[in-house]
Amino acid sequence: MKISNIILIFLFVLPFAFADLRVGFYCTSCPSAETIVRRAVRRHFIRERSITADLLQMHFHDCFVRGCDGSILIDPRGRKGSEKQARINRNLEGFDLIDEIKAAVEKACPSTVSCADIIALATRDAVALAGGPRYNVPTGRRDGLVSCPSEVHIPGPSLSVSQAFESFFRVRGFSLNEMVTLLGAHTVGFTHCSFVRGRLSSFGNRDPPMDPALDAKLGRICGSAQRPARNDPQIVLDQNTSLVFDNEYYRQVRMSRGVLHIDQQLGVDASSRGIVAGFAANENSFKRRFAEAMIKMGSLDVLVGNAGEIRKNCRAFNSPR
């Protein structure tokens, strides 16, 4: 049985609602919503396959700050900042796709579909297009009313496994297995030299040890302590199949080719290396677990009912706040 069919069956037998969200929330109020999202994502994916990584990063950063409420989309205005200004968010891309989708759904169903749901649906479709699992996304989220850069506390890539788990994932109800699973999004992810220099021999560092060939390759991209590369070049996290959603990330980690400190730590830490080995050996298991973890993440502290609002423009609150 295909992995996509397994996941759909698994989801069917799960409780239908997650924190007052439900699959098919817009079936009556905006029946074309998910089709609009799917078609827009496909158009962008054909032009630029890295949109999968962009959306995954956007969705993660949105859900792990205030909850999945679209606060990551707000533009700063005047003296009022927004989450986009936080250092870890400054290189985020994909906002143009969200704008395109929002304009289309507003035309079809004004003030009905939230920006938070658009992120979740677009991410789902982009993951599937890249070869990842197909899963149902419960919808019904509403958009948040706050976006503050000082509230952005995404764990940095220099944390140990225990630090990342205890301070960030466990407190949000995730198991260690789910943390390792969600970090598997790095199979289509990317970073920048500024987050990698601490691991490179050209900058005087190699902890934990990196495959010498990869160390030399990244040194050519990022430069050295004496001559760092300009403009903070982008680096893919999966050096083999960077545009395909598969389990290659875990295989690379097992060969000491994890780009970020946390990536490589997953492969050497006693608490996580067995999980990494299991996912490296079984792609179907990884994809199934990833779908489950994404659905769980998408229900974090969501706004439902009359809470929040349905933004008309994803980049701005409906009224001054």
Q: pLDDT tens, position by position, for the chain (321 residues)?
A: 444 444 443 444 343 345 489 999 999 999 999 999 999 999 999 999 999 999 999 999 999 988 999 999 999 987 888 999 998 898 899 999 999 999 999 999 999 999 999 999 999 999 999 999 999 999 999 999 999 998 998 878 889 999 999 989 999 999 999 999 999 999 999 999 999 998 999 999 877 789 999 999 999 999 999 999 999 999 999 999 999 999 999 999 999 999 999 999 999 999 999 999 999 999 999 999 999 999 999 999 999 999 999 999 999 999 765
- HEC-encoded secondary structure of 51-88: HHHHHHHHHHHHHCCCCCCCHHHCCCECCECCHHHCHH
The residue type of 204 is G
What per-residue confidence (pLDDT) applies to 209?
Answer: 81
Residue type, 57: Q
Q: Is 120 left (phi over 0), alpha (psi -120 to 50) or beta?
A: alpha
Q: Cα separation of 124 and 266, whole Å?
A: 25
Partners of 18 in the β-ladder? 21
Q: Domain 3-153 class? A: mainly alpha
Say whether 61 is catalytic.
Answer: yes
Helices and strands (H, E) in the chain, number of each type: 12, 4
Task: Please give the angle made by the CA atoms of 271, 276 and 277, to the nearest 5 degrees.
Answer: 105
CA distance 47 to 280: 30
Quote the pLDDT of residue 102: 98
Q: What is the pTM of this model?
A: 0.91
∠ at Cα 270 (290, 285), nearest 5°?
Answer: 25
Show Cβ contacts of residue 202 under 8 Å, excluding neighbours closer than 6 positions. 215, 219, 222, 223, 224, 225
Q: Tell me what pLDDT residue 304 has.
A: 96
Domain ranges of the chain: 3-153, 161-290
CA gap 112, 28 in Å, rounded: 11
Name the catalytic one among 59, 61, 186, 261: 61
Cα separation of 142 and 94, whole Å? 20
Tokens 């035309």 label which residue? Answer: 107
> What is the chain's length?
321
- Give me the pLDDT at residue 6, please: 40
| Domain over 161-290 is classified CATH 1.10.420.10 | yes
Please report the pLDDT score of residue 250 as a whole number.
Answer: 98
pLDDT at residue 154, as a whole number: 84
Place of tokens 């993440």: 297
